[in-house]
Structure 1
Amino acid sequence: MLVLLFVMSILLGATSFACGILPLSVAFSKTCLERLSAVGTGLLLGAALGVIIPEGMETAVEASPGLIPTSTIALSLIFGFTFMLVIEQIVSPHAHSHNDHTLGLHTVKKDSTQKSAEVDFDAELGELEQEEGLDRPGYRQPAPSSIPLNDPHASEFTGRAFSLTFGLVIHGLADGLALGASSLAKDQSGVSSNLSVIVFLALIIHKAPTSLALTTSLLAISLPRQKCKEHLIAFASSTPISAVASYLLFSSFGNGDNHWTGIALLVSGGTFLYVATVLQPVSNHRGASSIGDMRPITRVFHIVVGMIIPLILSVVLGHGH
């Protein structure tokens, strides 16, 4: 199973990097990326509620014959959710203190006017941008080519880029925990289950718009392209490293016992719920304020489609509950 996890981790990191590189040379449709982001939100919800958490509960019960470890289940879920809450508040302590929750992200267009558009690719990234002063009303980000290399504010731009990347790296580590923990899951016959494949597919689709969002944000603050690639590598490698590390860690702790596997799955389920419901709000109350914004019914449709996909995969792969 470690070999399969290693292969999935490599593919996940390579896909994240490849998607993040695209904005350096290609302009993307705002509507297409919004829809992909909505499907990604649904995938996280579906994977957490329909696959990871049920599997974690089943594993925890099997590890405690004769009783249902409700306290362990509850504490594990709460810990995963709270961990992400604490980390996100440390990275961006005022992210949720605004009355206006319109969270924007700038995309760089390769036209003569160098205009910027605002897109909600990933709420966590939009919040970090607001915290770092990248989304102030009436403020337009300068084009990457408009700031000279000897700009006195270069260090400020570097600091903003670090904050953006650091926040996403933390969430990437949490995603790796989910993939690593799911790779430990076994079916009733003791054979490794296909849960990790479902989580892997959900993460692939979830990370595509996030990688695009990171690169476009770094370009918007005039970070050199080489530096953009370095930040992207850090983000793309966070989940693979965390996945392999968490697998080895829980394998050594568990020593064949399902107790730690169940806890790991439930903790990762809690982190997924936080990312899907808080960092990428299911309810988007912005309204269609500009051309290209999705209508609420369209957003709900794409989220529901994303939620159903993990359930379909669990049935197809023979891992239904």
Structure 2
Amino acid sequence: MDGAWAVILISLAMFVGCFMLGIIPLLISLSEQKLQLVTVLGAGLLCGTALSIIIPEGVELVQESWKEPRAHMYSGNSVTATLGLLIHAAADGVALGAAAASSQVSVQVVVFFAVILHKAPAAFGLVSFLMHAGLERKTIQKHLLAFSAAAPLMAISTYFILSANRLSITGIGMLFSAGTFLYVATVHVLPEINSRGHQRSTHLHHETGTGGGAYQQQGGLGITESLTLILGAGLPVLLALGLPDD
């Protein structure tokens, strides 16, 4: 039951943290640049966690299962935006639940930080989008509540499903979650950041009247964003070094 209580407490902490972080735009306004840096850091954490932590651990669990005797394969519009982020949040929950089922402390801690730092700007973005859409405060809070609850519920469900199965299933679950991390970071988050930088460069071009060739070179991630991305990708390794495996 220790593992079960651990994943329940982690999921509860993630729910409260995500909801409290997401409600910030309703209370104070944050600059777009600060929010973008947090988003880039979260994307780097997702990539670093998937490549250096989750994939090696998942492959190791699958390899260990081959050495065990053969066992049973299984045991006894604003709405659109919210639904899309709910799917992403559910994938985060699968990652956290699979990490908890692996019984590796370092994997659990690193995945938790990666998920919460990824969900923070996502919650910011969801609430900001709903505010711009003109929804009432109570309606926005309901959407945020659903988004905050998606990952914890999936984490708990995934943990109990994988802990009842053999190691290969847990390893495959971790490899699946690594794929979702890489997909969200490289297909959803980073292209959106790149698009924002391109739009800012276009706006600057129209204001200053500079040549088109000069502005084309300014699109994409800047030096600060690139360094933040590298920092985020390296943090999982540094976190794992100071944590025990069991």
For residue 243 of structure 1, report the CA deviation from its aligned partner: 0.1
The answer to whether the Cα contact below 8 Å between 1:31 and 1:294 also exists between their aligned partners in 2 is no
| TM-score, normalisation: structure 2 | 0.83
Partner residue of 1:95? Answer: none
The aligned amino acid for 2:223 is: I
For residue 193 of structure 1, report the CA deviation from its aligned partner: 3.3
Residue 7 (structure 1) aligned with residue 9 (structure 2) = yes
What is the CA–CA distance in structure 1 between the aligned matches of 2:244 and 2:233, rounded to whole Å?
A: 18
The answer to whether the Cα contact below 8 Å between 2:38 and 2:121 also exists between their aligned partners in 1 is yes
The answer to whether the Cα contact below 8 Å between 2:90 and 2:154 also exists between their aligned partners in 1 is yes
The answer to whether the Cα contact below 8 Å between 1:16 and 1:208 also exists between their aligned partners in 2 is yes
The aligned amino acid for 2:185 is: A
What is the CA–CA distance in structure 2 between the aligned matches of 1:7 and 1:33, rounded to whole Å?
A: 28
What is the CA–CA distance in structure 1 between the aligned matches of 2:64 and 2:162, rounded to whole Å?
A: 17
Listed as ranges, the matches of 1:1-321 within 5 Å are: 1-65=3-67, 160-186=77-103, 192-252=104-164, 254=165, 257-281=166-190, 284=194, 286-287=197-198, 288-289=200-201, 296-319=222-245
Greater share of residues in helix = 2
Partner residue of 2:74? Answer: none
What is the CA–CA distance in structure 1 between the aligned matches of 2:110 and 2:221, rounded to whole Å?
A: 29
Aligned residue pairs total 218
What is the CA–CA distance in structure 1 between the aligned matches of 2:97 and 2:51, rounded to whole Å?
A: 18
User: CA-atom RMSD, angstroms?
Assistant: 2.0
What is the CA–CA distance in structure 2 between the aligned matches of 1:270 and 1:212, rounded to whole Å?
A: 24
The answer to whether the Cα contact below 8 Å between 2:105 and 2:243 also exists between their aligned partners in 1 is no
Partner residue of 2:211? Answer: none
Q: Percent identity?
A: 35
| TM-score, normalisation: structure 1 | 0.64
Distance 1:3 1:309, change over 3 A: same
What is the CA–CA distance in structure 2 between the aligned matches of 1:263 and 1:217, rounded to whole Å?
A: 35
Moved segments of 4+, more than 3 Å: 285-288
Distance 1:45 1:295, change over 3 A: closer
The aligned amino acid for 1:239 is: A
Structure 2 portions without partners, runs of 5+: 69-76, 205-218
SS at the partner of 2:153?
A: helix
What is the CA–CA distance in structure 2 between the aligned matches of 1:298 and 1:319, rounded to whole Å?
A: 33
Distance 1:298 1:3, change over 3 A: same
What is the CA–CA distance in structure 2 between the aligned matches of 1:294 and 1:273, rounded to whole Å?
A: 19
Structure 1 portions without partners, runs of 5+: 67-159, 187-191
The answer to whether the Cα contact below 8 Å between 1:172 and 1:235 also exists between their aligned partners in 2 is yes
